[in-house]
């Protein structure tokens, strides 16, 4: 799957699309859209929105995953050491530490952690990261309004760490990474698996302000002067005007390094790596080399593990490579190639991503493939709405584990048990739903998520129709859909049952392609679907926590699901019907209903005494 890393900074939107392949990490596209730095915040937001619109006009995201990063200055980070404990106990200890370390009520933040350094029998070092929930919600709201629905939210310093660790995996000794932006500088120290981050208050705008004050010019003019200083006849004079700010900058670096060395006395700094558009200043490298007495370099080229697709805008990539580090690091996380996987996205975003990962036969693939079947009434939007509803019913479910973990170490559990019970009720079966989906996924055919690539770039409906028909023919010839089971609809309704809060009624509509040779006897597909899906599903859900049983009829029959009446489906357009004699692709759908999360089935009645005597005789 291709992944976009989207970095919306103060002065430019930077995006990189990549994917992981057997030969390396392939960069498929890059985008760099600059915009002016506005003093008015509303004007600045408008400039960012316009850049986002331009990005979506230039690039087709489609079903690609999108990873975004918040600025480091908006995040809390703390590195702590835990005593040597069993790996299964680390998360419990971190949760307790997070509630003490994070300077906000735990219910008002999005937080995550990563193991930084872990060796058997030694202290475990972890990094805890958090940001205010309202900040993340506002950030995501702006992106969604602009047409982007992110799958992962992290912070820029962690993306920088991922970029550096992936690009320079074999470096020995510590590296000070300085990503100099317009409003802030992210300092990241990388030492093998270990890393530390800090936000520095001095950045590009501070240099611009110093120039504006020195030359008595407006901010925008000073910004132009700074950017063109390398070509100016007064380059030395301009740089000398910056040195006061730059010396303060060096002081911040020394203080940060000193602090981290006090926590890790074996840390040995060997080099400095400059990133960000603010690091393009002429003479900045030599100045830092002299002041820090370290080797200083700029990220001038991608390492060998990166492969460039033939259509990548190489000129843009080369020109702005120092500014693309965050975007690349973000995309690496989405592609599963990053050592740090901290995710600060809200629970509903994480649940939706899990649904997509656990259901490869879900909305995205189903929409494409059902175009070939011609199912004009496939309700993708309705299904997504149900998924969204299910995933947003429980804003506080993430607190359940917190309460239960704390309660495990205390003697008086009554208060915590009551809290856990109330929070679980608020959860509305959210985690239970994922367990249900996982059980369903396990019984599906191995290649159920296989699809045929389709480049559906069409400028009009007239162009799209023949493309759909050609794609349908390609699908038919490939046979890729012959063995698939399709999920058309899924309804999960919670039943009112105080004793069994996880009790749900489930309705699933499944379809399967009818082989051409079986069109005349398509009704037989009902038994095929029951055999391939219904019976395995009932078996998979027969035990705890599901205890599946029929939801219709008199009484309950545990261990079974109820197959309803099936219907044929077919046609490639609204005017075509499910006629077995026409040449359209043809399928059969079947509805199943059942209850899960119900009480255990009653034990079988003991044999009567009379029956026992007969058996003995």
Q: Which domains, and CATH codes, for the chain? A: 1-75+124-168+303-345 (3.30.420.40), 169-301 (3.30.420.40), 347-393+428-596 (no CATH)
Q: Write the pLDDT tens digit of every residue in 148-201.
A: 999 999 999 999 999 999 999 888 999 999 999 988 899 999 999 899 999 998
How far out from the chain centre does Cα 357 lie? 10
503, 495 contact by CB (below 8 A): yes
pLDDT of residue 131: 95
* Residue 404: C-alpha distances to residues 93, 298, 409, 423 (Å): 12, 48, 9, 10
> Distance between CA 5 and CA 61 in Å, rounded?
11
pLDDT of residue 456: 56
Closest CA to 180 of 326, 55, 30, 16: 326
> Distance between CA 292 and CA 361 in Å, rounded?
55
275, 322 contact by CB (below 8 A): yes
Q: Write the pLDDT tens digit of every residue in 35-88.
A: 988 878 889 899 999 999 999 999 989 889 999 999 988 899 999 888 887 877
Which three-class secondary structure string do you get for 564-589? CCCEEEECCCCCCCCCCCCCCCEEEE
> Distance between CA 69 and CA 188 in Å, rounded?
15
pLDDT of residue 413: 44
> Distance between CA 423 and CA 94 in Å, rounded?
20
**Strand order across the beta sheet in which 185-191 lies:** 194-200, 185-191, 174-180, 269-275, 295-298
3-state DSSP assignment of residue 242: helix
**Do you find a cis peptide bond into 503, omega within 30 degrees of 0?**
no
pLDDT of residue 518: 74
557, 550 contact by CB (below 8 A): yes
285, 298 contact by CB (below 8 A): yes
- All residue ranges of the chain with pLDDT < 70 are 118-121, 230, 232-233, 355-432, 449, 451-465, 468, 472, 552-556, 570-585, 604-617
Closest CA to 602 of 536, 568, 556, 537: 556
- Count how many Cα atoms sit within 13 Å of the Cα of residue 521 in the half-sphere of its side chain: 5
- Count how many Cα atoms sit within 13 Å of the Cα of residue 167 in the half-sphere of its side chain: 22
């Amino acid at each position: 799957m291709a992944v976009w890393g989207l970095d919306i900074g103060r002065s430019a939107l930077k995006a990189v699309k990549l994917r992981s392949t057997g030969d390396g990490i392939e960069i498929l596209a890059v985008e760099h859209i600059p915009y002016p730095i506005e003093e008015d915040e509303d004007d600045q937001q408008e400039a960012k929105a316009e850049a986002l619109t331009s990005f979506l006009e230039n690039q087709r995201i489609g079903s690609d995953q999108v990873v975004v990063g918040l600025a480091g200055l908006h995040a809390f980070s703390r590195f702590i050491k835990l005593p040597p404990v069993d790996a299964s106990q680390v998360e419990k200890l971190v949760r307790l530490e997070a509630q003490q370390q994070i300077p906000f009520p735990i219910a008002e933040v999005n937080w995550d952690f990563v193991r930084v350094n872990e060796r058997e029998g030694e202290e475990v070092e972890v990094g805890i990261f958090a940001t205010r929930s309202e900040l993340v919600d506002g950030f995501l709201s702006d992106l969604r309004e602009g047409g982007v629905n992110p799958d992962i939210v992290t912070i820029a310093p962690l993306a920088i760490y991922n970029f550096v660790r992936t690009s320079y995996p074999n470096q020995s000794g510590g590296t000070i990474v300085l990503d100099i932006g317009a409003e802030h500088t992210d300092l990241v120290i990388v030492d093998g698996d270990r890393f530390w981050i800090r936000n520095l208050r001095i950045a590009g705008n501070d240099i611009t302000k110093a120039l504006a004050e020195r030359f008595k010019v407006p901010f925008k003019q000073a910004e132009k002067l700074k950017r063109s200083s390398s070509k100016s006849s007064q380059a030395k004079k301009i740089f000398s005007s910056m040195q006061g700010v730059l010396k303060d900058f060096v002081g911040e670096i020394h203080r940060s390094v000193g602090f981290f060395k006090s926590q890790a006395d074996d840390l040995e700094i060997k080099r400095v790596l400059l990133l960000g558009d603010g690091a393009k200043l002429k003479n900045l490298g030599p100045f830092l080399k002299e002041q820090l007495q370290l080797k200083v370099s700029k990220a001038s080229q991608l390492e060998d593990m990166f492969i460039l697709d033939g259509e990548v805008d190489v000129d843009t990539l080369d020109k702005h490579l120092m500014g693309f580090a965050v975007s690349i690091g973000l995309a690496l996380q989405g592609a599963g190639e990053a050592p740090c996987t901290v995710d600060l996205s809200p629970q509903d975003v994480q649940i939706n991503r899990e649904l997509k990962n656990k259901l490869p036969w879900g909305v995205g693939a189903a929409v494409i493939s059902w175009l070939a079947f011609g199912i004009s009434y496939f309700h993708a939007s309705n299904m997504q709405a149900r998924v969204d509803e299910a995933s947003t019913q429980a804003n506080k479910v993430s607190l359940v584990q917190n309460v239960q973990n704390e309660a495990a170490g205390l003697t008086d559990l009554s208060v915590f048990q009551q809290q856990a019970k109330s929070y679980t009720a608020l959860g509305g079966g959210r985690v239970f739903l994922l367990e249900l989906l996982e059980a369903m996924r396990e019984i599906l055919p191995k290649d159920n998520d296989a699809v045929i690539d389709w480049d559906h770039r069409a400028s009009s409906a007239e162009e799209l129709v023949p493309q759909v028909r050609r794609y349908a023919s390609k699908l038919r010839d490939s046979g890729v859909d012959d063995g698939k089971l399709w999920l058309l609809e899924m309804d999960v309704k919670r039943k009112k049952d105080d004793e069994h809060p996880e009790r749900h009624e489930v309705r699933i509509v499944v379809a399967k392609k009818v082989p051409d040779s079986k069109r005349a006897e398509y009704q037989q597909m009902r038994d095929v679907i029951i055999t391939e899906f219904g019976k395995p599903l009932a078996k998979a859900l027969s035990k705890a926590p599901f205890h599946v049983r029929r939801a219709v009829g008199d009484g309950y029959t545990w261990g079974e699901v109820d197959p309803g009446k099936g219907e044929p489906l077919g046609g490639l357009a609204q005017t075509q019907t499910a006629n077995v004699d026409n040449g359209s692709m043809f399928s059969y759908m079947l509805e199943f209903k059942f209850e899960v999360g119900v009480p255990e089935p009653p034990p079988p009645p003991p044999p009567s005494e009379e029956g026992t005597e007969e058996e003995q005789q």
